[in-house]
Amino acid sequence: MALKNPFTKIKEIKDKNRAAEVVVAAESMSPATGIPAIDIIKKVSKKIKNVHFDDILKKYNKGEPKSKIYSKLFDNIFLNILEIAEKKSIEVSGVFQAYMDTREKLKKAKSKITSAIIEPFVTYFIVSGISFFSLTNIIKNKSIFQSMKIDISLLSFVYNFFWLIIFGIAFVILFVLFKLQRKIPFLKEAHKEMDTYNYLSVINIMLRSGIPSTDISTLFGMKKKGSEGIALFFKKLLKIEELVVLQMGMESYQYEKIIEVLLRRRESKFEARIDGIANSLRQILFLISMVPIAITLASIFMIVVKVMKASSTI
């Protein structure tokens, strides 16, 4: 199987994102302007060349529902929301912008976490280069140590396997950070924060759109149906006091209002919490990025000790 040109892949992603932006704008403006979203997309397609517009118009002409028309642009959760709304003849124009705003906030949050992981490793490899340069200068003059009968075999070992050690450490740490994120304390907390915000936002959007709680519980595969299933779903995500408020809201049939209040409460602190987690993670990784220089200094220190011992016997 032939590998795709990376530039082609980048263009495909850009085209998909641009088409999604146009669809969201068209659907969001349609109710206020009275202009059908599909007419806006048709006009835009004449000015912007994008394969996704052709696909949208082709499916529209076949009479397919929006959940099928936009299937290549949005994730499954959003497409399921569209499908449920269409089956119940619920207007979905307001759903598009709200859902995309949520996606954008989550995307930025994930980007901050990724940056917190990547940035220290840039420092790590710069420090590694400086450390290797220092070791190279010492190894070049090993004849001096040999004339003093100083064993530098450990230093030579570190020098010979330096990059293997450096890349090995980096690989292990990066593998753990990217593959086991939900098990690492800092990253686990970040994911919980993002999951809570995501589900509160999506469920709030669905309730505001008039989608029944029974359909919401079915969509998310909740063990119990309706409002009771929603409360149980949030048991591991919300704080105790938030969960108590939600459960009380369920009893008084005000869960729609309670979900929105909880969302606004989370939303106001969401970015600050993610920033705090990202900064803590960055600080820890910056300390790890000093490992190469620590290895070099430890090796040099051992040589210095041996030189001092050798000098004292002369």
Give pLDDT, residue 230. 87
Going by C-beta distance under 8 Å and a sequence separation of 6 or more, which residues neighbour residue 124? 166, 170, 288, 289, 291, 292
Q: Token pair of 153, please?
A: 């075999």
The answer to whether the CB of 167 falls within 8 A of the CB of 125 is no
Say whether both 179 and 30 belong to one domain: no
Above 80 in pLDDT, residue 71? yes
Rounded distance, CA 142 to CA 163, Å? 20
Going by C-beta distance under 8 Å and a sequence separation of 6 or more, which residues neighbour residue 181? 187, 188, 190, 191
Say whether both 192 and 289 belong to one domain: yes
Rounded distance, CA 94 to CA 290, Å? 50
Instruction: Confirm whether 88 is domain-assigned.
Output: yes
Among 73, 93, 118, identify where a domain stops: 73
Say whether both 23 and 169 belong to one domain: no
Domain that holds residue 313: 84-314
Instruction: Confirm whether 1 is domain-assigned.
Output: no
Above 70 in pLDDT, residue 254? yes
Q: Which residue has the tokens 């999604």?
A: 20
Say whether both 12 and 114 belong to one domain: no
Going by C-beta distance under 8 Å and a sequence separation of 6 or more, which residues neighbour residue 146? 152
Query: What is the percentage of the chain residues whose pLDDT exceeds 70?
Result: 96
Say whether both 61 and 37 belong to one domain: yes
Say whether both 137 and 192 belong to one domain: yes
Give pLDDT, residue 306. 74
Rounded distance, CA 169 to CA 160, Å? 16
Say whether both 58 and 102 belong to one domain: no
Pick the most confident of 7-16, 140-149, 150-159, 236-245.
236-245
Instruction: Confirm whether 299 is domain-assigned.
Output: yes
Give pLDDT, residue 77. 86
Above 50 in pLDDT, residue 155? yes
Q: Tens digits of per-residue pLDDT, 262-307?
A: 999 888 888 899 999 999 999 999 988 888 888 878 877 877 777 7
Q: Tens digits of per-residue pLDDT, 94-130?
A: 788 888 888 889 989 999 999 999 999 999 999 889 8
Going by C-beta distance under 8 Å and a sequence separation of 6 or more, which residues neighbour residue 275? 112
SS3 letters for the chain?
CCCCCHHHHHHHHHHHHHHHHHHHHHHHHHHHHCCCHHHHHHHHHHHCCCHHHHHHHHHHHCCCCHHHHCCCCCCHHHHHHHHHHHHCCCCCHHHHHHHHHHHHHHHHHHHHHHHHHHHHHHHHHHHHHHHHHHHHHHHHCHHHHHHCCCCCHHHHHHHHCHHHHHHHHHHHHHHHHHHCHHHCHHHHHHHHHHHHHHHHHHHHHHHHCCCCHHHHHHHCCCCCCHHHHHHHHCCCCCCHHHHHHHHHHHHCCCHHHHHHHHHHHHHHHHHHHHHHHHHHHHHHHHHHCCHHHHHHHHHHHHHHHHHHHHHHCC
Rounded distance, CA 111 to CA 278, Å? 10
Say whether both 20 and 89 belong to one domain: no
Above 70 in pLDDT, residue 5? no
Domain count, the chain: 2
Say whether both 89 and 41 belong to one domain: no
Say whether both 55 and 153 belong to one domain: no
- For the chain, the average pLDDT equals 86
Above 50 in pLDDT, residue 1? no
Instruction: Confirm whether 100 is domain-assigned.
Output: yes
